[in-house]
Amino acid sequence: MKNFTFFLVFFFLVTQICFAQWFWQNPLPQGNDLNAVDFVSSTVGWAVGGGGTILRTTDGGTRWTSQTSGTTEYLTDVSFTDANTGTAVGWSGTILRSTDGGTTWTSQISGTTYPLLGVSFTDANTGTAVGDYGTILRTTNGGTTWILQTSGTTYPLLAVSFTDTNTGTVVGYLGTILRTTNGGTIWTSQTSGTTNVLNGVSFTDANSGIAVGGGGGTILRTTNGGTTWISQTSGTTYPLLGVSFTDANTGTVIGYLGTILRTTNGGTTWTLQTSGTTDDLSDISFTDANSGTSVGRNGTILRTTNGGTTWYTQTSGTNNWLRCVSFTDANTGTAVGDAGTILRTTDGGQTWTSQTSGTTVWLTGVSFTDANSGTAVGGYGTILKTTDGGTTWILQTSGTTQPLNGVSFTDANMGTAVGGYGTILRTTNGGTTWTSQTSGTTNHLDGVSFTDANTGTAVGQYTILRTTDGGTTWTSQTSGMPNSLIGVSFTDANTGTAVGDAGTILRTTDGGTTWTLQTSGTTNYLTGVSFTDANTGTAVGDVGIILRTTNGGTTWTSQTSGTTNPLSRVSFTDANTGTAVGSNGTILHTTNGGVTFVEEEQNSGQPTGFLLSQNYPNPFNPSTTIRYSIPSESKVMLKVCDILGNEIETLVNEEKPAGSYEVNFNAARLSSGIYFYKLQTGNFTETKKMILMK
Predicted local confidence at residue 596, as pLDDT: 63
Predicted local confidence at residue 17, as pLDDT: 43
For domain 17-22+33-313, which CATH number applies: 2.130.10.10, 1.20.1250.20, 3.40.1350.10, 1.10.3130.10?
A: 2.130.10.10
Mean pLDDT of 260-272: 97
Predicted local confidence at residue 8, as pLDDT: 24
pLDDT value at 533 more than 80 = yes
Mean pLDDT of 38-48: 97
Predicted local confidence at residue 649, as pLDDT: 83
Burial profile 502-515: b = 16 or more Cβ within 10 angstroms, e = fewer = ebbbbbbeebbeeb
Predicted local confidence at residue 16, as pLDDT: 41
Average pLDDT of every residue of the chain: 92
Sorting pLDDT into bands at 50, 70 and 90, what band is 600?
Answer: low
Mean pLDDT of 562-577: 94
Residue 184 falls in which region: left (phi positive, over 0), alpha (psi -120 to 50) or beta: left
| Cβ-based neighbour number of residue 282 at 10 Å | 26
- For the chain, give every residue range classified as CATH 2.130.10.10: 17-22+33-313, 322-590
Backbone angles phi, psi at 202, to 5 degrees: -145, 120
Predicted local confidence at residue 644, as pLDDT: 81
What DSSP designation does 668 have?
Answer: T
Who's near 546: CB < 8 A, 6+ residues apart?
22, 538, 539, 540, 558, 559, 560, 561, 567, 570, 580, 588, 594
Give the whole-number percent of the chain exceeding pLDDT 90. 80
CB distance 406 to 445 below 8 Å: yes
Closest residue by Cα to residue 680 from 614, 642, 636, 646: 636
- For the chain, give every residue range classified as CATH 2.60.40.3080: 600-692
DSSP letters for 365-384? EEEESSSS-EEEEEGGG-EE
Long-range pairs, 433-442, Cβ under 8 A, ≥24: 433/397, 434/383, 434/396, 434/397, 434/398, 434/399, 436/399, 436/400, 437/471, 437/472, 437/474, 438/474, 439/465, 439/474, 440/465, 440/474, 440/476, 441/465, 441/476
Sorting pLDDT into bands at 50, 70 and 90, what band is 592?
Answer: confident
Predicted local confidence at residue 7, as pLDDT: 25
Closest residue by Cα to residue 127 from 115, 143, 114, 112: 143
Which tens digits make up the pLDDT trace of 94-108? 999 999 999 889 999
Which tens digits make up the pLDDT trace of 147-194? 999 999 999 999 999 999 999 999 999 999 999 999 999 999 999 999
Backbone angles phi, psi at 501, to 5 degrees: -70, 160
Mean pLDDT of 650-675: 84
Least confident range from 71-75, 257-261, 342-346: namely: 71-75
CB distance 33 to 298 below 8 Å: yes
CB distance 381 to 359 below 8 Å: no
Q: Distance (Å, rounded) from C-alpha 405 to C-alpha 415?
A: 14
Mean pLDDT of 314-328: 96
Task: Count CA atoms within 13 Å of residue 43 on its CB side.
Answer: 2
Predicted local confidence at residue 608, as pLDDT: 77
Sorting pLDDT into bands at 50, 70 and 90, what band is 21?
Answer: confident
Predicted local confidence at residue 694, as pLDDT: 81
Mean pLDDT of 113-131: 97
Q: Distance (Å, rounded) from C-alpha 213 to C-alpha 240?
A: 5
Mean pLDDT of 551-573: 94
Burial profile 21-59: b = 16 or more Cβ within 10 angstroms, e = fewer = bbbbbbbbbbbbbbbbbbbbebebbbbbbbbbbbbbbbe
Sorting pLDDT into bands at 50, 70 and 90, what band is 645?
Answer: confident
How big, in percent rounded to 5, are the helix, strand and coil portions of the chain?
A: 5, 45, 45
Mean pLDDT of 117-130: 98
Give the whole-number percent of the chain exceeding pLDDT 70. 96
Q: Distance (Å, rounded) from C-alpha 348 to C-alpha 327?
A: 9
Q: Distance (Å, rounded) from C-alpha 510 to C-alpha 455?
A: 13
Predicted local confidence at residue 10, as pLDDT: 27
Predicted local confidence at residue 118, as pLDDT: 98
Predicted local confidence at residue 662, as pLDDT: 86
pLDDT value at 1 more than 50 = no
Mean pLDDT of 582-590: 95
Which tens digits make up the pLDDT trace of 365-405? 999 999 999 999 999 999 999 999 999 999 999 999 999 99
Which tens digits make up the pLDDT trace of 460-476? 999 999 999 999 999 99
Predicted local confidence at residue 668, as pLDDT: 75
Task: Count CA atoms within 13 Å of residue 147 on its CB side.
Answer: 12
Who's near 560: CB < 8 A, 6+ residues apart?
20, 22, 72, 546, 596
Sorting pLDDT into bands at 50, 70 and 90, what band is 580?
Answer: very high
Q: Distance (Å, rounded) from C-alpha 549 to C-alpha 619?
A: 30
Sorting pLDDT into bands at 50, 70 and 90, what band is 359?
Answer: very high
CATH number at 322-590: 2.130.10.10
Backbone angles phi, psi at 621, to 5 degrees: -165, 120
Sorting pLDDT into bands at 50, 70 and 90, what band is 604?
Answer: very low
Predicted local confidence at residue 327, as pLDDT: 97
Q: Distance (Å, rounded) from C-alpha 396 to C-alpha 409?
A: 15
Which tens digits make up the pLDDT trace of 469-506? 999 999 999 988 888 999 999 999 999 999 999 999 99
What DSSP designation does 278 have?
Answer: -
Mean pLDDT of 411-440: 98
Predicted local confidence at residue 512, as pLDDT: 97
600-692, CATH topology level: Immunoglobulin-like (2.60.40)
Predicted local confidence at residue 642, as pLDDT: 86
Sorting pLDDT into bands at 50, 70 and 90, what band is 274?
Answer: very high
Closest residue by Cα to residue 323 from 349, 367, 362: 362
